[in-house]
Structures are given as structure tokens and as C-alpha cells.
């Protein structure tokens, strides 16, 4: 009985890990886009392609009022990385 529970727990843990990795990769794909509009469109497309693999609110987690961004802006702008996030947490 203990062996069955151990194997079941191991399989469940691997499943949860794979699901988390998939969600992280999807978010990474969205955030590598050129601008906020493209990010939201990509999130919507991924949600439609993988409805059972992503949370129902995945596309909505990238709001319409997301400031424009790009690879250089995110890494170089302390305003974007801290100011916008603080505003979002305050809401």
C-alpha cells in the first residue's frame, strides 16, 4: 500500500511540475513579444491553442492598459520594473 501511494505521489508531483513549467514557458513566450498589444494577442492565441494546459484567466492576466515594452525597456528602465509593478500591487 505504501509503495502504491509513493508511486502515485511521484506521478502527481511530476504532472504538477510539468504543468508549472508549461505555464512559465507560455508566459515567457508572451513577454518576449515586441509590444503590449502583441503580448496580449499572443496570450489569447496560446489560451485558445492550449485551453486545458493554461489557467482560464491566462490571457486576462495581461491587461489592456499594460505599458508598451520591449526587451531593452524592461531591462534598462527602473521605472517600468518597479513603478508599474508597485502600482499594480496597490490596486
Consecutive sets of 10 residues in the chain, 91 residues long: mean pLDDT of each? 88 88 88 82 91 85 68 50 52 54
Rounded to whole angstroms, the maximal C-alpha distance in the chain is 56
Predicted model pTM:
0.58
Q: What 8-state DSSP symbol labels residue 42?
A: H
The alpha carbon dihedral of 38, 42, 48, 49 has a sign of positive
Amino acid at each position: 500500500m505504501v509503495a502504491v501511494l509513493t508511486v502515485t505521489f511521484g506521478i502527481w508531483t511530476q504532472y504538477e511540475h510539468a504543468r508549472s513549467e508549461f505555464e512559465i514557458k507560455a508566459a515567457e513566450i508572451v513577454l518576449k513579444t515586441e509590444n503590449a498589444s502583441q503580448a496580449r494577442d499572443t496570450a489569447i492565441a496560446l489560451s485558445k491553442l492550449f485551453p486545458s494546459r493554461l489557467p482560464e484567466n491566462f490571457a486576462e492576466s495581461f491587461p489592456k492598459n499594460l505599458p508598451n515594452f520591449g526587451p531593452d525597456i524592461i531591462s534598462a528602465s527602473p521605472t517600468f520594473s518597479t513603478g508599474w509593478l508597485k502600482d499594480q500591487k496597490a490596486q
